[in-house]
Amino acid sequence: MASKTDKKDTEQFLTFYLDREIFALNVLQIKEIISYSKVTDVPLTLPEIVGVTNIRGSVIPVIDLGVRLGIRDSCDITERTSIIIVENREDDVIFEVGLVVDLVNKVYDISLKTMEDVPAFGSKISKKFMMYVGNIDSEFITILNHKTILDAQELSEIAQKE
């Protein structure tokens, strides 16, 4: 049985796939997960910006996470494609962004003691997008940094065009 100190030493992470590679985000940043639905194209935006979608009356920008990370040029939408709605706070402003992923896997408790710094080389994606490498069942999973993925300056380009 886990003690209270053990609980503090773990955090929960949602794992998901992009082009057969597994990644994770801290569940504290995730508001919800939805099936891929209609996304309206926004012209003249960055290649990783798929467009915007309407979720319960709110217009949410949608980013193809695989393109953002530089591991693919575009996403093939399937029945398993999902949008992870992530909340980000910058300068006391909270905004939501949808991240397109190929397949949502499951939530894991990862011990903070097993997390390691991101290696300086050997990754297909920029180190700025990664926080740690977590160990789950003897498999290493890249834990992404939602703040650098959701760069407000780039996202503001969407808001100015709406």
- The CATH code of the domain that includes 23 is 2.40.50.180
**76-93 average pLDDT score:** 88
- Residue 99 belongs to some domain of the structure: yes
Domain extent, residue 91, equals 11-161
| Summary mean pLDDT of the chain | 84
pLDDT at 5: 41
Q: How confident is the model at residue 156 (pLDDT cuts 50, 70, 90)?
A: low
- Residue 4 belongs to some domain of the structure: no
- Residue 1 belongs to some domain of the structure: no
- Residue 5 belongs to some domain of the structure: no
Dihedrals phi, psi of 89, to nearest 5 degrees: -120, 125
- Residue 2 belongs to some domain of the structure: no
Q: How confident is the model at residue 2 (pLDDT cuts 50, 70, 90)?
A: very low
**52-73 average pLDDT score:** 92
- Residue 95 belongs to some domain of the structure: yes
Tracing tokens 């390691």 back to the chain, one arrives at 116
- Residue 3 belongs to some domain of the structure: no
- Residue 98 belongs to some domain of the structure: yes
Q: In what order do the strands lie in the sheet with 10-18?
A: 103-111, 10-18, 21-26, 139-144, 130-136
Tally of structural domains, the chain: 1
CA distance 50 to 48: 6
